[in-house]
Amino acid sequence: MRGKSIVSDAAEVQLAVELIRLGARMQLLEAETRLSRERLLKLYKEVTGTSPPKGMLPYSTDWFMAWLPNVHASLFADIHRYLVHNARLEGIQAIMTAYRLYLEHVQVYGLTRELSLTRAWTLVRFMHADLLTTTPCKRCGGHFVVHTHELYDRYVCGLCSVPSRAGKTRRAAEAAAA
């Protein structure tokens, strides 16, 4: 019995280390592992060399509705859904694998990462709580994150109908100037 506990503890530590390397916040680590807060704090400092960021997790679905976050959240949600249905992954393993694939996609296409692991985890939780879902765009057929209880019979995504101010941020201006 004691041997199983050690193996289980080692697996929990390994999971926590992987999550920390992907950028997990403490609340995510506490929710997805059985390790104590003190042990997680020590692991976080050991892996990153710094203390974990403080503050609350994102709690509003509204962040996912803004143009660029919606595009990135929708990409992640589609990857996650594919892995759950076709690779039969579930839980935090599905989220981690989908997030790694999201990061790879962002890197390959030279995009700026908009979605953190914590936001991706929150998105999945919002979808499981039936606060968010995806709906197909009537023009391109891609599935995009939307609020669950709104009507979307003629939904057109933010890529097919780009908002006039899309991409006109201070960060974009600074990148263009450099």
Question: In angstroms, rounded to a whole number, what is the distance separating the alpha carbons of residues 53 and 167?
Answer: 28
According to the model, what pLDDT value does residue 174 have? 67
Q: What number is the average pLDDT over the span 162-172?
A: 69
H-only helix segments in the chain? 2-21, 26-32, 37-48, 67-86, 91-108, 117-128, 170-177
pTM passes above 0.85: yes
Report the pLDDT averaged over residues 98-113.
97
pLDDT at 2: 41
Residue type, position 51, single letter? S
Predicted pLDDT at 14 = 97
- For 120, the token pair is 């991706």
- Checking if the pLDDT of 132 tops 70, the result is yes
d(CA 85, CA 68): 26
Residue 151's pLDDT band, with cuts at 50, 70 and 90, is confident
Inform me whether the pLDDT recorded for 81 exceeds 90: yes
Q: Which pLDDT score, from 0 to 100, does residue 9 have?
A: 87
Instruction: Give the pair of three-digit tokens for residue 15.
Output: 């999971």
- pLDDT bin (cut points 50, 70, 90) of residue 166 is low
Per-residue pLDDT averaged across 9-28, rounded?
Answer: 96
- pLDDT for res 117: 97
